[in-house]
Amino acid sequence: MTAPAFAPTDAGTPAARAAARAAELLPSSTPVEPGVAQALTPDLAQAFAAGVLVPTGGSATHLLGLLVGHELVDAMAASPTPGLTVAAATQPAVDAAAAALGRSADAAQDIGVADLLGIMGPGATAVPLQGLGPVAALLISEDLLAAVVPAAAPTPTPAPAARPATGRGIELLHGVDMELTVELGRTRMAVRDLLSLAPGDVLELDRAAGSPADLLVNGRLIARGEVVVVGEEFGLRVTQIIDSRAS
């Protein structure tokens, strides 16, 4: 299936620019190209397996969304990394789309396809993002699109470099950034004790001295290691990888 290109009259519209930026960063095993902007309809949404909702600038009506195809959803289901979600995997793409509209994207949220359609509303614009099939569709709410003033002379977006068609699978997520947290230990306190804390107080954690620290991804334990000093900063020397299948 050949992905349709934007009509020449559409190439400089805000929706077209946002879709082109999202296409460059969307995880996929094949190159992704934006199609022609169209009204969001339930028929369009039938080809997709999941949804992502992204408020911009903290607004409840200036919204971006993604309808996500089966390829990415299946890859997420096969991911060996616990805590990796469709929303986290597509956050760089929606960040780029929001920036193309002169907005900042808030944290992406996983949402069902039907719920996403209901929130975006019938006035939303949809731009298909296609590879060998429907990879995703970028959604822009009516209020957000109305608030965007088209640039008089937009800077052309360079065409993304061709990516080799590899086997469909977890490798399409290799470029996704994830936030890691190192945890030394935890404790529980009554509110009255918490309110009485003062500089110099020492909290006893549920971890013995010399015990390894935990490495977490989105709150899920993936490894343990030793805290070390690297230059003037702390680091973690990984000593154990946790097999999530054993937990």
Instruction: Give me the residue label for tokens 């719920």.
Output: 115
Residue 168 to residue 30: CA distance in whole angstroms: 9
Fill in the DSSP letter of residue 225.
Answer: E
Which string of DSSP letters, residue by residue, matches 170-234?
GGGGTT----EEEE-------HHHHHT--TT--PPPSS-TTPPEEEEETTEEEEEEEEEEETTEE
**The overall pTM is greater than 0.85:** no
What per-residue confidence (pLDDT) applies to 1? Answer: 36
Residue in the structure block whose two tokens are 């490798």: 171
Confidence (pLDDT) at 194: 86
pLDDT of residue 167: 47
Give 153's DSSP letter: S
Mark the ranges of the chain whose per-residue pLDDT is less than 50.
1-9, 151-154, 162-167, 247
Angstrom distance (rounded) from CA 65 to CA 137: 8
Query: CB-based burial of residue 59 (10 Å sphere; 0-12 exposed, 13-18 middle, 19+ buried)?
Result: middle
pLDDT at residue 67, rounded to an integer: 95
In this prediction, residue 171 carries a pLDDT of: 65
Q: pLDDT value at position 6?
A: 35
Domains identified in the chain and CATH numbers: 8-149+168-173 (3.40.1550.10), 180-246 (2.30.330.10)
